[in-house]
């Protein structure tokens, strides 16, 4: 990858040997290793057995999870917040595992629509809850820095499974909670 970064620097008219750029290929490789670490992550290892028997039936919501990803079309960042909820089916998951699952899929080349669904289906598979809901709101630098150059546009995506898809009251409760945060 470092050799390819040198080629990119040369192709845009830069001197890869100048002081400020000498270590750039190493830094870019290190950055991309981190930003694409989701390809090497394993959900089972991330969850690490943190699933617990619990007879609770109320909605579990982790709101405002910061997420950063790379647009697969331009390799530019998009960033925002994910809201993830589930309705337990006699099992709950350690709450820190939900943001970790978001990171697994965000740290890949992505489109926001697929990212939203991957998070929802991973929670569904790991926990087998009565339902899962995921909403992501993000800003895309590919729209802000280039192309249409719209600074204030945001993309919202959602995926509703099980009770969140079938029951409008459950869906409305989730949407109200992510809007207001109050019960």
CA distances from 10 to 3, 23, 76, 80, 177 (A): 11, 14, 20, 33, 50
Q: Which of 2, 74, 117, 124 is catalytic?
A: 74
Phi-psi group of 128: left, alpha or beta (phi > 0 → left; psi -120 to 50 → alpha; rest → beta) = left
For residue 93, the surrounding DSSP H or E stretch is strand 91-93
Per residue in 67-124, pLDDT (tens digit) is: 999 999 999 999 999 999 999 999 999 999 999 999 999 999 999 999 999 999 999 9
pLDDT at 49 over 70: yes
Structure confidence at residue 181 as a pLDDT band (50, 70, 90): low
d(CA 50, CA 11): 49
**Catalytic one among 112, 118, 130, 159?**
112
Q: What distance in Å separates the CA atoms of residue 96 and residue 47, rounded to the nearest whole number?
A: 9
Known catalytic membership, residue 140: yes
**Which residue from 115, 123, 67 is spatially nearest to 98, judged by alpha carbons?**
123
Q: Which of 54, 57, 66, 73 is catalytic?
A: 73
112 is catalytic: yes
74 is an active site residue: yes
Handedness of CA 115, 117, 120, 126 (dihedral sign): negative
pLDDT in tens, 63-83: 999 999 999 999 999 999 999
Q: Is the pLDDT of residue 183 over 80?
A: no
Phi-psi group of 64: left, alpha or beta (phi > 0 → left; psi -120 to 50 → alpha; rest → beta):
left
């Amino acid at each position: 990858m470092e050799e390819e970064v040198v080629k990119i620097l040369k192709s845009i008219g830069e001197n890869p040997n100048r002081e400020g750029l000498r270590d750039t290929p190493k830094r870019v490789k290190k950055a991309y290793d981190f930003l694409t670490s989701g390809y090497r992550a394993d959900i089972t290892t991330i969850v690490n057995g943190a699933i617990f028997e619990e007879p609770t039936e109320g909605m579990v919501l982790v709101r405002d999870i910061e997420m950063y990803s790379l647009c697969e079309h331009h390799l530019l960042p998009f960033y925002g917040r994910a809201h993830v909820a589930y309705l337990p089916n006699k099992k709950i998951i350690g709450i820190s595992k939900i943001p970790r699952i978001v990171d697994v899929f965000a740290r890949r080349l992505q489109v926001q629509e697929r990212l939203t669904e991957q998070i929802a289906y991973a929670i569904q598979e790991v926990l087998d809850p009565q339902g899962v809901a995921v909403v992501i709101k993000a800003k895309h630098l590919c729209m802000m820095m280039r192309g249409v150059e719209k600074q204030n546009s945001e993309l919202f995506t959602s995926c509703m499974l099980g009770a969140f898809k079938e029951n409008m009251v459950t869906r409305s409760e989730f949407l109200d909670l992510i809007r207001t945060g109050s019960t």
